[in-house]
Chains A and B, each alone.
Chain A
Amino acid sequence: MADILTPSAWLLAVVQALLFPALAPLLVGWVRKVKARLQNRRGASVLQPYRELRKLLFKEARVAHTASPLFRAAPSVVFVATWLAAATVPLLTIDLPTAVVADIIVLAGLLALARVFLALAGMDVGTAFGGMGASREMMISALAEPAMLMAVFTLAMTAHSTNLGSVIAHHLGDAFVLRPSYLFAFAGLTLVALAETGRIPVDNPTTHLELTMVHEAMVLEYSGRHLALMEWAAQIKLLLYGVLVANIFFPWGIATDPAPLSLAIGLGAILLKLAVLGAALAVAETVLAKMRLFRVPAFLNLALLLALLGLLSHVILEVGA
């Protein structure tokens, strides 16, 4: 395995890592555009999120008198941890050194690190909103994290590995046998992805209504480039979950060797898959209504149950086979 720790592989890993922040706003713009069309609006250009980030970067940041140094450090920590987590997910090709540096449990850990700093930043200024958002975020994540790990462990147990590259390679070599455990894990992970990225029906990324907001409540005190980093991190997280779902459950097209042609095919394939996933998300957000906060636990319990069913059906049905 040490043969993948070559300079060219590292270079490829850096390129792939840079693709994540570059593509993330595009996915958000695409989802918004499809949603607008579904609601009979024309909608903004798909490039609008880039413009928003640029606008925020060129605005003066304001920081409350009561804020501590943690308030100014937090956006960087959140952004960096989310980005590094994203960099470990195979986007174009599976044989990357980043997958050996950090496996799927480390990925969950890095996302948790980002989340903890996001929640702490929410509580830092000492307003009611920040505390409320932090409290809700930690409740949702407390229920979502076990579901995510269970879904992932289903795959890890099948592939006998928590290395994402190995999991995808195993699935590719499986000749796409339809396993019941994968279906359950897929359903569970999709529900978790909706909750973790703050989409409808769990949270609404465009709301500013106090009763319902989670993510927005935590970043309410941020402005300027601090806010830009926070928003960008949230967009990267959406892309991360999109790529995770797309590449683990539909690994078609992902490059298994570092040849330029297969990499190009890999890029085309993942863009296509993300476009489909984004459109599906937009449809779901159009037909679903936002849930009351205390309905969310039931939603996440369903995710956990699905993931556990996946694990058990793997353990009981598939191991002997």
Chain B
Amino acid sequence: MRVETALSIAGLAVALALGSAAVSLLAARFPKVVRFAAMPLTGLCGVAAIVAGLGALLSGGVATATLPLGLPWLPWHVRLDALAGFFLLLIGLVTSAVGLYGPAYVRGLEQGRDSLVALGGFTGLFLAGMLLVVLADDAFLFMIAWEVMSLASYFLVAFQHEQAANRRAAFLYLLMAHIGGLSILLGFGVLASFGDGFAFASMRAAELSPVWASVAFGLVFIGFGMKAGLVPLHAWLPEAHPAAPSYISALMSGVMLKVAVYGFIRLVFDLIGDVQWTWGMAVLAIGSLSALTGALFALMQTDLKRLLAYSSVENLGIVFIALGLALIFIDTGHPLPGALAFVAALYHALNHALFKGLLFLGAGSILHSTHERDLEQMGGLLRRMPWTGFFFLIGCLSIAALPPFNGFVSEWLTFQAALQAWQLDSGVMRSLIPIATAVLALTGALVAATFVKVYGIAFLGQARSRHVRRARPGPWGIRAGQGLLAVLCVLLGLFPTLVIGLIDAVPRQLLGGGLPDAGSQGWLWLVPDAFETASYSAPLVTVLLIAIAVLVVWGLHHVGVRRVRRCDAWDCGFAPPTARMQYTATAFAQPVRRVFALLFRVEETQVPREDGGMRHQIKIVDRSWDALYLPLARLVEAAARRVVRLQSGNVRVYLGWTLVTLLVLLWIVSA
């Protein structure tokens, strides 16, 4: 496919997203419109985005176009290259699964009081915004698309606004999205002032002095880091993601955070271009901090969707660790490990979109069947919802980075990139990168603990409440959406070499060099550098695992006693175990909470219950609130109290202020 065709198909995807938003306006009269028209259009939009993304990646070319829209002297430019194509593919994959999943999920909302017009309309706008951010080729369109994306997702977070917690989460999200947006805008301002205009092409050509380049990098890092949920700017994320409907959470966590990664890559690697290794160290440090904090807080949560949101903080941390490594290697003149780290970051971004999408859809399907988000009330869901249980297990194994699933591949690549640190000259970097690697290893093990907890508490054991005991499997659409993502998780784990062959177009176009030898040993082997250095054959590992398993089961069938008798669980000779005797999610996390006690603020309280008993409550508070947000909020409040004196309520005083302002402006302009 020619890349120009791919660009038109990407345009079609945007049009389909806008079309689904427009169609949803009819939902006020006919609630079924969202289910039968808007959601299928969303799915088609996803398919179009996949086709466009694949076209751009396979052709390796660049297509540009100018839209007859925008300001008179500033028409909108769009551009499709390999980087944009990769992110179109990522958006498209999750969106297609949501298109399958959504109709059945929306059906449950048709009876309620929530406005489906808002849900369908803003979903379409949200998607169109994300697609346009990726396609934009000038700062003007980029910022407009960025704001459309942020505002539409604000309304989706505030969708169930009767609950005060959701309104609060939405407001916090809006506030932080705008601070981030402002920071990005200032970053564009720095770039535009050195180039001659707002088009990306002129920014790319601009020559920045190292200091101004660092300023632009700092602004951009803050802006996109806030959107990506990096610590300590992550506070909005665990509040906002759980509040939205589940498939919106999947889109926000799986896709929107990746759009922030896209923006970071586009601005830092492409537009600023001349990267510095000090930036890489900063990104590496913040990425490691995010990965560790996110993993620990995820382990502490008992609300399933909140837990998944914190896990996104962790995964974006891993993506930024890899990006930091890429920056360091590229600036110090090691293009091959640089490209390896870059590919690892992209691979992990894609993997996270798939498994986090899958897990959020799974959480939504539990919510759909049991109306329950609290892990402490679940249990035994595997036998009641076997398909969701099976797909969720694949998601858990993938996110825990276990071979042969996809999460392992990107983590393996990140480790391999970090292990190239011996090539660096500076001893400081050579010793700091291994520490980041240790953090990555710790994070991986904590994530495994987290998802053993999630799966063990929610899907295994016995049901802890009556409505969970009565759970029914969801309709087929809900299962199909999860199934699609689960299959992709397995495929991306099994055939990493093929995927890397596809991703490789991005560093080749952007950094001028990819991984030439990645596929040198055929699709069977994943070889980042040389066969002697490292190699991993996911298909062979899987085949061997299955072959040995068949052998073992066959052997057991023929040796020994085959009979299996059902009986009660062992009870140490006391009363038979009940559901209340099981380990809870809080109890499961207790040892780790104790080991890492310094990082949390734990509030333990005894609350008297109505029946005279006592209830033990544990609340885990993020320390970044105390350290960063509360002082900042107090500062703003104090400043506001000063400013409020301006507001007397008297019209003449206001006119006086206006006069003074005009005079000062006049003086500034004439001076």
Which A residues lie at the B interface, using CB under 8 A?
Answer: 1-2, 57-66, 68-70, 72, 76-77, 79-81, 83-84, 87, 100-103, 105-106, 109-110, 112-113, 115-116, 119-120, 122-128, 130-132, 134-136, 138-139, 141-146, 149-150, 153, 156-157, 160-163, 166, 220-221, 224-225, 228-229, 293-294, 297, 304, 308, 311-312, 315-316, 319
18 contacts between A and B (CB under 8 A): A59-B561, A62-B564, A66-B380, A105-B412, A105-B536, A109-B402, A116-B452, A123-B456, A131-B587, A139-B449, A142-B442, A150-B441, A157-B419, A160-B422, A166-B532, A294-B594, A315-B434, A316-B431
Which residues of B403-441 have CB atoms within 8 Å of chain A's CB atoms? 403, 408, 412, 415-416, 419, 421-422, 427, 430-431, 434-435, 437-439, 441
A278 to chain B, nearest CB (A): 26
Chain A residue contacts of B461, Cβ below 8 A: 66, 123-126, 131
Q: Does B531 contact A (CB under 8 A)?
A: yes
Q: Which residues of B contact A136 (CB under 8 A)?
A: 591
- What residues of A have a CB within 8 angstroms of the CB of B101 in the complex? none
Q: In whole angstroms, what is the CA distance A292 to B140 when docked?
A: 62
Shortest Cβ distance from residue B603 to the other chain A in the assembled complex, whole angstroms:
21
Cross-interface CB contact of A297 among B456, B534, B535, B595, cutoff 8 Å: B595
Beyond A160-B422, A315-B434, is A127–B564 a contact (Cβ under 8 Å)?
A: no
Asked whether B532 lies within 8 Å of A149 as measured between CB atoms, the reply is: no
Contact A127 B569 (CB under 8 A): yes
Q: How many interface contacts (CB-CB < 8 Å) are there between A and B?
A: 275
Select one of B431, B583, B589 contacting A312, CB under 8 A.
B431
A70 contacts B449, C-beta separation under 8 Å: no
By beta carbon, the residue of chain B nearest A131 is: B583
Contact B434 A150 (CB under 8 A): yes
* A-chain residues with CB within 8 Å of residue B379 when the two chains form the complex: 126
Q: Which residues of A contact B582 (CB under 8 A)?
A: 123, 126-128, 131
**Nearest CB in chain A to that of B546: its residue:** A80
Contact assessment for A131 and B563 in the assembled complex, using a CB-CB cutoff below 8 Å:
no
> In the docked arrangement, what's the CA distance between A45 and B217, Å?
69
Q: Choose one: B383, B403, B446; the contact of A68 (CB below 8 Å).
A: B383
Partner among A134, A139, A162, A311 whose Cβ is within 8 Å of the Cβ of B456: A134
B151 at the interface (CB under 8 A from A): no
CB distance from B196 to the nearest CB of A (A): 46
Check if B119 is an interface residue, CB within 8 A of chain A.
no
* In the complex, residue of chain A having the shortest beta-carbon distance to the beta carbon of B565: A62
- Asked whether, in the complex, the Cβ of A61 is within 8 Å of the Cβ of B563, the reply is yes
Contact check, A131 vs B564: say whether CB atoms are below 8 A apart. Answer: no
B473 interface hit (Cβ, 8 Å) = no
Could you tell me the distance in whole angstroms from the C-beta of A10 to the nearest C-beta in chain B? 11
**CB distance A63 to B534 under 8 Å?**
no
Stretch at the interface among B32-40, B356-364, B552-560: B552-560
B540-571 CB contacts (< 8 Å) to partner A = 540-541, 544-545, 548-549, 552-553, 556, 559-561, 563-571
Residue of A nearest to B443 (CB): A146
* Chain A residues within 8 Å of B563, by CB: 60-61
Measured in the bound complex, the distance between the Cα atoms of B552 and A55 in whole Å is 17
The answer for the CA separation of A162 and B565 in the assembled complex, in Å, is 46
Q: Compute how far the CA of A120 lies from the CA of B256 in the bound complex, rounded to whole angstroms.
A: 32
Residue of A nearest to B419 (CB): A156
Listed residue (A57, A123, A220) with the most chain B CB atoms within 10 angstroms of its CB: A123
CB of A319 to closest CB in B, whole Å: 6
Besides A135-B587, A225-B556, 7 more A-B contacts (Cβ < 8 Å) are: A64-B566, A66-B461, A77-B549, A103-B534, A120-B456, A143-B445, A312-B434
Q: Which residue of A lies closest to B543 (CB)?
A: A101
- Which of these, A116, A123, A127, A153, contacts B419 with CB under 8 Å? A153
A224 to chain B: closest residue by CB: B561
B465 to chain A, nearest CB (A): 14
Within 8 A of A (CB), among B582-633: 582-583, 587-592, 594-595
Q: Determine how close the nearest CB of chain A comes to the CB of B667; give it in whole angstroms.
A: 60
Q: Closest chain A residue to B589 by CB distance?
A: A135
B30 to chain A, nearest CB (A): 42
Interface residue B448 (Cβ < 8 Å from any Cβ of A): yes
Residue pair B594, A100 in contact (C-beta under 8 Å): no
Q: Are A60 and B564 in contact (CB under 8 A)?
A: yes
Instruction: List the B side residues contacting A135 at CB < 8 Å.
Output: 453, 583, 587-591
Asked if B591 and A293 sit within 8 Å, CB to CB, the answer is yes
Give per-residue flags for B439-480: 1 if the beta carbon is below 8 A from chain A beta carbons, else 0.
101101110110111011101111000000000000000000
Contact of B663 with A by CB under 8 A: no
Whether B402 and A113, one on each chain, are in contact in the complex, defined by CB atoms closer than 8 angstroms, is: yes
Residues of A within 8 A of B588 (CB): 131, 134-135, 138
Cβ of B581 within 8 Å of any chain A Cβ, yes or no, is yes
Closest B-chain residue to A126, C-beta based? B461
Instruction: Select the residue from B379, B400, B438, B589 with max chain A CB neighbours within 10 A.
Output: B438
Contacts of B595 in A (CB 8 A): 139, 143, 294, 297
Residue B515 lies at the interface, judged by CB distance under 8 Å to chain A: no
A68 and B570 within 8 A (CB)? no
Chain B residues whose C-beta falls within 8 Å of the C-beta of A312 in the assembled complex? 431, 434
> What's the Cα separation between A216 and B437 when bound, in Å?
32
